[in-house]
């Protein structure tokens, strides 16, 4: 019944890399404009949509309890169980997961408020926080759903009802709001709630042996432990990880206790929520994609904090499985809308790809946390791939419209929404973009790792001493990266710079002197271990060549096809630039592809141009099938980065082009 | 309000080609074994399934009225409106369209009984016919649904409830049973019902101006008119055709009379049932595929019988639209399951193709009826394409299992069913196969057209004189066709032999003397107009070359792909013959393809073999994406005719192979 103890001790002397808090990093350039879009538009939009959706009616204890409004009849069975309503009319509803969306909205607002003062928004968020504080029960419990909509049912259906998931997102929001504004009201509220949860769940005989059907609380408790220094939260996070999938199965017993038949679980298998077996025995990425990524993120945090190599081994098997068989080239994942998740190896349909924005965002969470165990481009490359493609494709350039599904092929009917009945993605992406600085760096005893490049200034912590790093670069459009170091006094530490796996040619100089990359590179990071003085400069040059990418031959949907990539960016064709049916186009393997920065286009992007072949239609007349192959004609094509698609006139889009 | 009169007069002297009745043609060879499978297995299976489904409980007036069992809750909205339940449990139900399935089952049994004595089945069918006779009301009305399940509601919802559609299929069954067994009880019953319908619908002020939401009654009334010689049925068929889509719209008025909002029609547009405009103004094939084909079949019959060129012009526009933009290479049609029908031009997805068996069968109905206006391979080629591929793929070789959807690509999870909750397809295909002889020939004043070739003996009628034609051939496996003529006395008539459009090389001899094909060929038929004597022989040789077929470049799903065809047969790869992921295979344009008859395989088929290329996987390791193109390796491939797929171990199947 109780979880197996973690074999590794927390006392081992190995490094733990911690991401910087948002206030430690100011971004400019590429990320600066994206963070500004979130701060200027998205953050306010998220709050307004929460209000429109009725979230505050469900939350505010001073308002009458709204009638239960979940039009199950018009929800798919999957929607009912997954809690993702897909109803056809009306945006106002009540949902068991509203607290999570408020939590992510608070987190996005927090980072945005740090970026730009916004007293109106800050007042609104403070008011929401007051509602949570007022709603909280004396014992610390806090849930707008179970206190207002379904009183008396708390802790009766962890499998389906997102109870701890909501707590987790509120904890993340609380930590962010505290870090960004210094206000600790919500942090204290959530710490009390976490204390209550700690009294409810654990190995002790009197406690429940449960865990959430939708993982999230695990990684949130790690954040809470780090910011409060309270080790109990860390231990509770580990408990939820260790207990998951143990026998007798909690979800079976819980269902029986509810008087329902465990075998009637809508998704049939507990693979859906990754509780089909203990996490250390899992070696295949399965089920609901976001849940899986959140679980692995929590596992990575616990592996880091506890130096738990049994978790690390499992995580590496899962990482290999995802990256060798189940990941879109865009960093999107979870091809099926039926389970919002994974299907079969190499099954990566392009037009029907679900590839939920939340899943790519969550992959970035996982990859970033794998880097807690030390810099390794095996993880950082994928983090960059997901962030620059399948994640930020989820938001329009102006920060006002959102994708939930991120297909790699479209006939033009797939366009970003103003809002979604299940608003999980916009705030998830909003908070990721607005906190991009914490993905760029890792800080540990005597070492700073630079995972992502971008024009920015960071104030990092090396054993209590502040190290200021200023990156000057036009990355990802240009591969020249200048880094200046600023310290109050000469300080010895290792500065580890990621040399991306996609980069064929890189050069590195310190204070003008060339460094032998081969000699200093470990796990794909150039490690510059020296005493750094104020004004020291590092010049890193990464060649951004245009590459043709081919998929494994077992990926049937991509057979005979090729996609274009430059640096971290995957490219696509859009109808607005290419007035021809895109599947008529074939890109010869020897056709030169030119990269050009276009200042006026889509806020400034590097486009790719080539002379390709197209199947001619002129000589077909009314013929639908014939024995003569189509004639070929030359056509000029122009590709744009995938993440900017659908920011102009809607039309066909294609990532995987026919090869030639 | 009343329909526009047909401009053309029925008195014009032009020929009308009538198909022979089933007893006029005995088939052997390829079709002989298929008809035997239907007579030996399918006919009995159809009856048994009708019983299991509860059809007789709904029909038999001597049984208690069954409770209304249509689990709407588990039906999709489309299913509710289209009357195609897709519920998940239980096969016993009550349905508004059960009479149609009994009608088609009776028709299949009729042809089967002509083929082979089966006293047990004949007794069962006679009993069913007795039930219909006993149920019929004094006024002639006959519907198991409206008399037993929804009494009092007759003629209140022609749009959705298949009332006249059921009558039509029962009429077809009655005509067939009379022709095959000489028993006229059901024919008399249905004639009385048709008389009643004639009193209910028509241009006269006191009559309803309606027509059925699911076309079928039109072509059935033409059959009834031909066999009874009663012209009123012909005129009523023409009325239903002429009235369709006229304003004010009958379905609007009917809905209002029911107190329901016409705009709430589930499928939104009346294109769904082809009543969006008068039929003579229609030039685009739209909506539910089977409904469309049944309508056009009725239109073709009326165009033939009334020499109505305004209908013929509309039909040719519709024919061009289907054949130039919306037809699968298999002769399948209707790519979408949402409306069981048509979507957009050139939208022909392979794996998700709906391509209902009934639709390909119904296309054969339409094409066959276009030939009523005279032999023309423009129609006969497509009839052959549909019959040999997308239609007979719907039944297993032994006649016991059935496809409803006929995709052109499968991962092996798509297999024939024992039965289907909506059993429309099995009896539709069963009756077509068992009556294949009536598709092979057309007979008119002074002319016999041979539309399809197959080992057979036909007793045809030329102005009251019998002409016996014996075809000796292994077609479609071999292109050598011998035809011997037998007449009681020398008789002058034109024997018109179809020279298929796919045939590059054909030769023709009469009594050993070569005929100049060019000189005698009209509309793709070699017309041998002479005095024929007993023993005259015709030798037609059609080259059956293996062809590579390419789709119009706008068909995005087939871009860069090719399929193999030999004579009328489209080929596919199956996993059982090709142990490799089929999309790894590319067929070079210059690779020789060998055709070989394999006696022991699938009842004897010609297979196609070639040396192709395959993308190698050996050097990929755990890599999912890379810049180096896949290495190519040689692989031997073997293709089988599409219609025999899924008769062995289930596995991947692919029609459109990557080109090379």
Q: What is the pLDDT of residues B205-258, one digit of tens each?
A: 999 999 999 999 999 999 999 999 999 999 999 999 999 999 999 999 999 999
What is the mean pLDDT of the segment spanning A343-347?
97
Query: Does the beta carbon of A320 lie under 8 angstroms from any beta carbon of chain B?
Result: yes
Token readout for A45 is 């939009």
pLDDT at A14: 72
CB pair distance less than 8 Å for A622 and B550? no
**Rounded average pLDDT over B30-52:** 96
For B607, phi and psi rounded to 5 degrees? -105, 160
Helices (H), A461-598: 517-520
Beta bridge partners of B491: B532
Distance, in Å, from the CA atom of A256 to the CA atom of B383, rounded to the nearest integer, reads: 59
Q: Do A624 and B560 touch (CB under 8 A)?
A: no
Q: Are residues B520 and B623 in the same domain?
A: no
Residue A638's H or E segment, with its range, is: strand A632-641
User: Would you say residue A61 lies in a domain?
Assistant: yes
Of B325, B560, B623, which has the smallest distance from its Cβ to A658's Cβ? B560
Task: Please judge whether B559 and A629 are an interchain contact, meaning their C-beta atoms are less than 8 angstroms apart.
Answer: no
Same domain, A198 and A288: yes
Partner residues linked to B441 by β-bridges: B450
Interface contact flag, A583 B556, Cβ < 8 Å: yes
Whether A550 sits inside 8 A of B627 (CB atoms) is yes
Query: Do A583 and B329 lie within an 8 Å CB cutoff?
Result: no
| CA neighbor of B74 nearest in space, from B89, B54, B59 | B89
The DSSP bridge pattern shows strands B525-532 and B569-574 to be unpaired
- Is-contact A46 A105, C-beta < 8 A? yes
Specify the 3-state DSSP secondary structure of A194. helix
B613 contact A CB<8A: no
CA angle A300, A403, A84 (to 5 degrees): 70
Q: At A448, is the pLDDT very low, low, confident or very high (cuts 50, 70, 90)?
A: very high
Indicate if A229 and A108 belong to the same structural domain. Answer: yes
Whole-angstrom distance, CA of residue B237 vs CA of residue A594: 65
Query: What is chain A's mean pLDDT, rounded?
Result: 94
Question: In 3-state terms, what secondary structure has residue A131?
Answer: helix
B-chain CB neighbours of A615 within 8 Å are: 553, 559-560
What band does A87 get if pLDDT is binned at 50, 70 and 90?
Answer: very low
The Cα A360–Cα A358 span in angstroms is: 6
A581 chain-B contacts, CB cut-off 8 A: 553-554, 556
Q: Is residue A255 part of a domain?
A: yes
- Chain A interface test: which of B625, B653, B654 (most A C-beta within 10 Å): B625
Classify residue B82: in a domain, yes or no. no
Same domain, A266 and A358: yes
**Residue A66, Cβ density class (10 Å: 0-12 exposed, 13-18 middle, ≥19 buried):** middle
Of A572, A540, A549, the residue nearest A651 (C-alpha): A572
Q: Is A625 at the interface with chain B, CB within 8 A?
A: yes
- Does B205 lie at the interface with A, CB-CB under 8 angstroms? no
- For B135-155, how does the pLDDT look when each residue is reduced to its tens digit (9 = 90+)? 999 999 999 999 999 999 999
Contacts with B586 from chain A: Cβ below 8 Å: 560
Place of tokens 């607002």: A109
List the catalytic residues of A. Answer: 340, 424
d(CA A170, CA A392): 23
Question: How big is chain B by its Cα radius of gyration, in Å?
Answer: 25
CATH number for A512: 2.60.420
Buried b (16+ CB within 10 A) or exposed e, A130-166: ebbeebbeeebbbbbbbbbbbeeebbebbbbbbbbbb
- For B474, left (φ over 0), alpha (ψ -120 to 50), or beta? alpha
| A385 and A363 in a common domain | yes
Specify the pLDDT at position B70: 65
Decide if pLDDT at B76 tops 90: no
Pick the last residue of a domain from B516, B542, B568: B542
What is residue A68's predicted lDDT score, i.e. its pLDDT? 83
Prediction ipTM score: 0.94
Q: What is the pLDDT of residue A75?
A: 34
* Residue from A555, A561, A564, A625 whose CB has the most chain B CBs within 10 Å, to mutate: A625
What is the count of residue pairs from A and B with beta carbons less than 8 Å apart?
Answer: 111
B456, B597: one domain: no
Residue B371 phi, psi (nearest 5): -75, -10
Mean pLDDT of B26-55: 96
Q: Based on the fold, state whether residues B186 and B285 are members of the same structural domain.
A: yes
Q: Look at B91-95, B220-224, B453-457, B549-553 and tell me which has the smallest mean pLDDT.
A: B91-95
Closest CB from A556, A560, A624 relative to B551:
A624
- Quick one: which of B431, B433, B399, B420 has its CA closest to B49? B420
pLDDT at residue A1 is higher than 70: no
Indicate whether B71 pLDDT > 50.
Answer: no
Higher pLDDT, B71 or A416: A416
Cis omega (within 30 of 0) for bond into A235: no
Q: What is the pTM of this model?
A: 0.92
Tell me the per-residue pLDDT of B513-540, one tens digit each, with 9 for 90 and over: 999 999 999 999 999 999 999 999 999 9
| Radius of gyration of chain A from its Cα atoms, rounded to whole angstroms | 25
Q: Are A100 and A291 in contact (CB under 8 A)?
A: no
Tell me what the mean pLDDT of segment A72-100 comes to.
54
Answer for the pair A408, A529: CB distance below 8 angstroms, yes or no: no
Contacts of A628 in chain B (CB under 8 A): 550
Give the gap in angstroms from C-alpha A477 to the nearest C-alpha of chain B: 20
Q: How far apart are CA B521 and CA A202, in angstroms?
A: 89
C-alpha to C-alpha distance for B158 and B160, rounded to whole angstroms? 6
> C-alpha B586: how far from its chain's center?
33
Do the chains contact at A324 and B547, CB–CB below 8 Å?
Answer: no
The phi and psi torsions of B254 (rounded to 5 degrees) equal: -65, -40
Instruction: Please tell me if residue A579 touches chain B, with a CB cutoff of 8 Å.
Output: no
In A, which residues are within 8 Å of B554 by CB distance? Answer: 581, 584, 617
The H or E element that residue B145 is part of is none
Closest residue on chain A to B566 (Cα): A627
Domain boundary among B513, B542, B571: B542
All residues of chain B having their beta carbon less than 8 Å from the beta carbon of residue A548 are 627, 629
> Averaged over A261-290, what is the pLDDT?
96
User: At a CB cut-off of 8 Å and minimum separation 6, what does B166 contact?
Assistant: B96, B97, B98, B99, B100, B103, B143, B145
Residue A10 lies in a domain: no
- CB contact under 8 Å between B552 and A620, yes or no, is yes
Contact B625 A559 (CB under 8 A): no
Q: In this model, does residue B80 exceed pLDDT 90?
A: no
Does the beta carbon of B617 lie under 8 angstroms from any beta carbon of chain A? yes
B327 near A CB under 8 A: yes
What residues form DSSP beta bridges with A333? A327
Interface with chain B: mutation pick from A560, A571, A586, A617, highest number of B CBs within 10 Å: A560
| A626 contacts in chain B (CB < 8 Å) | 549-550
Q: Which of A547, A556, A614 sits opposite B627 (nearest CB)?
A: A547
For residues B193 and B141, the answer to whether their CB atoms sit within 8 Å is yes
A2 domain residue, yes or no: no
Q: Report how far residue B91's alpha carbon sits from residue B419's, in angstroms, rounded to the nearest whole number.
A: 9
Instruction: Give the chain B residue nearest A557 (alpha carbons).
Output: B583
With CB atoms and an 8 Å threshold, state whether A625 touches B551: yes
Work out the minimum CA distance from A320 to partner chain B, whole angstroms: 8
Q: Are residues A61 and A194 in the same domain?
A: yes
Q: Which domain holds residue A507?
A: 445-542
pLDDT tens for residues A33-65? 999 999 999 999 999 999 999 999 999 999 999
**Nearest CA among B532, B529, B457 for reference residue B488:** B532
Residue B634 has pLDDT above 70, yes or no: yes
pLDDT given at position B68: 83
What are the C-alpha distances in Å from B122 to residues A287, B39, B107, B166, B586? 54, 12, 12, 22, 52
Going by C-alpha positions, the residue among A476, A407, A318, A343 that lies closest to residue A653 is: A407
pLDDT tens for each residue of A462-488: 988 999 999 999 999 999 999 999 999
Clarify whether residues A204 and A319 are in a common domain: yes
Tokens representing residue A536 in the block? 């020291």
Nearest beta carbon to residue B552 from set A548, A556, A624: A624
Contact B564, B546 (CB under 8 A): yes
d(CA A611, CA A588): 9
Q: Please report whether residue A33 resides in a domain.
A: yes
User: Which one of A438, A460, A484 terminates a domain?
Assistant: A438
Distance CA A170, CA A154 (A): 17
Please check whether residues A554 and A465 belong to one and the same domain. no
Higher pLDDT, B660 or A498: A498
> Mean pLDDT across the stretch A344-351?
97
- In this complex, is the C-beta atom of A658 within 8 Å of any C-beta atom belonging to chain B? yes
Among chain A residues, CA nearest to B546: A627
Contact B626 A583 (CB under 8 A): no
Domain assignment present for residue A471? The answer is yes
Element (H, E) at B347: none
CB A361 within 8 A of CB A432: yes
pLDDT digit string (tens) for A426-436? 999 999 999 99
Q: What angle do CA B231, B235, B238 make, to 5 degrees?
A: 145
pLDDT-derived band at B82, boundaries 50, 70, 90 = very low
Q: What are the E-state strand segments in A504-576? A: 506-510, 513-514, 521-522, 525-532, 537-542, 546-551, 561-566, 569-574
What is the domain count for chain A?
3
Q: Scan for tokens 């403070």, then name that residue.
A: A126
- The verdict on B518 and B560 lying in the same domain is no
Residue B85 lies in a domain: no
DSSP count for chain A of H helices, then E strands? 19, 23
CB contact under 8 A, A624 and B320: no
Q: What's A349's domain CATH number?
A: 1.50.10
User: Reduced to 3 states, what is the DSSP secondary structure of residue B201?
Assistant: strand
CA dihedral (B488, B489, B494, B496) positive or negative: positive
B160, B575, B637 from B608: Cα distances, Å:
46, 15, 8
In a shared domain, residues B595 and B629: yes
Interchain pair B553, A581: CB under 8 A: yes
**Of A55, A67, A149, whose CA–CA distance to A102 is shortest?**
A55
Q: Give A 471-490 residues with CB within 8 A of chain B.
A: none
DSSP tag of B343 = -
Interchain contact B25–A (C-beta under 8 A)? no
CB-closest option in A559, A560, A615 to B553 = A615
Question: What was the pLDDT predicted at A70?
Answer: 65
């Amino acid at each position: 019944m109780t979880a197996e103890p973690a074999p590794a001790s927390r006392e081992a002397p190995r490094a733990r890399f911690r991401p910087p808090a948002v206030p430690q990093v100011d971004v400019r350039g590429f990320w600066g404009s994206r963070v500004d879009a979130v701060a200027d538009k998205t953050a306010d939009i998220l709050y307004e949509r929460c209000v429109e959706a009725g979230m505050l009616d469900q939350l505010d204890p001073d308002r009458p309890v709204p009638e239960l409004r979940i039009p199950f009849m018009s929800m798919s069975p999957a929607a009912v169980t997954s809690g993702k309503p897909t109803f056809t009319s009306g945006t106002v509803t009540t949902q068991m997961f509203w607290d999570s969306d408020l939590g992510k909205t608070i987190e996005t607002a927090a980072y945005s408020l740090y970026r730009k003062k916004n007293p109106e928004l800050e007042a609104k968020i403070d008011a929401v926080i007051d509602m949570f504080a007022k709603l909280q029960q004396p014992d610390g419990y806090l849930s707008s759903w179970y206190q207002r909509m379904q009183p008396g049912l708390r802790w009766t259906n962890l499998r389906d009802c997102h109870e701890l998931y909501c707590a987790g997102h509120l904890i993340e929001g609380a930590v962010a709001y505290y870090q960004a504004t210094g206000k600790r009201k919500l942090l204290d509220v959530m710490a009390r709630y976490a204390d209550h949860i700690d009294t409810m769940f654990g190995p002790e005989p009197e406690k429940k042996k449960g865990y959430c059907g939708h993982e999230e609380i695990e990684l949130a408790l790690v954040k809470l432990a780090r910011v409060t220094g309270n080790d109990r939260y860390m231990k509770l996070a580990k408990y939820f990880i260790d207990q998951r999938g143990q026998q007798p199965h909690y979800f079976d017993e819980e269902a029986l206790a509810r008087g329902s038949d465990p075998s009637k679980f809508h998704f049939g298998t507990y693979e859906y929520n990754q509780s089909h077996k203990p996490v250390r025995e899992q070696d295949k990425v399965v089920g609901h994609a976001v849940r899986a990524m959140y679980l692995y993120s929590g596992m990575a945090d616990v592996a880091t904090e506890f130096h738990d190599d049994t978790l690390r081994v499992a995580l590496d098997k899962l990482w290999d499985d995802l990256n060798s068989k189940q990941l879109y080239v865009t960093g999107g994942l979870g091809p099926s809308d039926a389970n919002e998740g994974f299907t079969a190896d190499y099954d990566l349909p392009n037009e029907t790809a679900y590839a939920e924005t939340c899943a790519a965002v969550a992959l970035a969470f996982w990859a970033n946390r794998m880097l807690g165990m030390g810099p390794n481009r095996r993880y950082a490359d994928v983090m960059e791939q997901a962030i620059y493609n399948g994640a930020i494709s989820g938001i329009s350039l102006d920060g006002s419209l959102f994708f939930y599904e991120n297909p790699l092929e479209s006939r033009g009917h797939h366009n970003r929404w103003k809002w979604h009945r299940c608003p999980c993605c916009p705030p998830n992406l909003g908070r990721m973009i607005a906190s991009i600085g914490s993905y760029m760096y890792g800080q540990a005893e005597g070492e700073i790792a630079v995972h992502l490049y971008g024009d920015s200034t960071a104030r990092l912590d090396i054993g209590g001493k502040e190290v200021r790093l200023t990156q000057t670069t036009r990355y990802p459009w240009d591969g020249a990266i200048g880094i200046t170091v600023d310290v109050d006094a000469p300080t010895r530490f290792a500065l580890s710079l990621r040399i991306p796996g996609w980069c064929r040619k890189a050069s590195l100089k310190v204070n003008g002197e060339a460094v032998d990359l081969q000699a200093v590179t470990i796990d794909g990071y150039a490690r510059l271990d020296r005493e750094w003085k104020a004004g020291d400069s590092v010049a890193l040059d990464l060649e951004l060549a245009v590459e043709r990418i081919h998929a494994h031959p077992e990926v049937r949907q991509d057979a005979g096809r090729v996609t274009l990539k430059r640096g971290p960016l995957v490219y696509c064709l859009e109808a607005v630039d290419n007035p021809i049916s895109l599947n008529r186009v074939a890109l010869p393997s020897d056709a030169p592809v030119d990269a050009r920065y276009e200042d006026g286009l889509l806020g400034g992007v590097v486009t790719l141009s080539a002379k390709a072949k197209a199947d001619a239609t002129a000589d077909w007349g009314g013929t639908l099938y014939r024995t003569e192959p189509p004639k070929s004609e030359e056509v000029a094509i122009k590709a744009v980065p995938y993440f900017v698609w659908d920011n102009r006139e809607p039309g066909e889009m294609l990532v995987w082009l026919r090869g030639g």
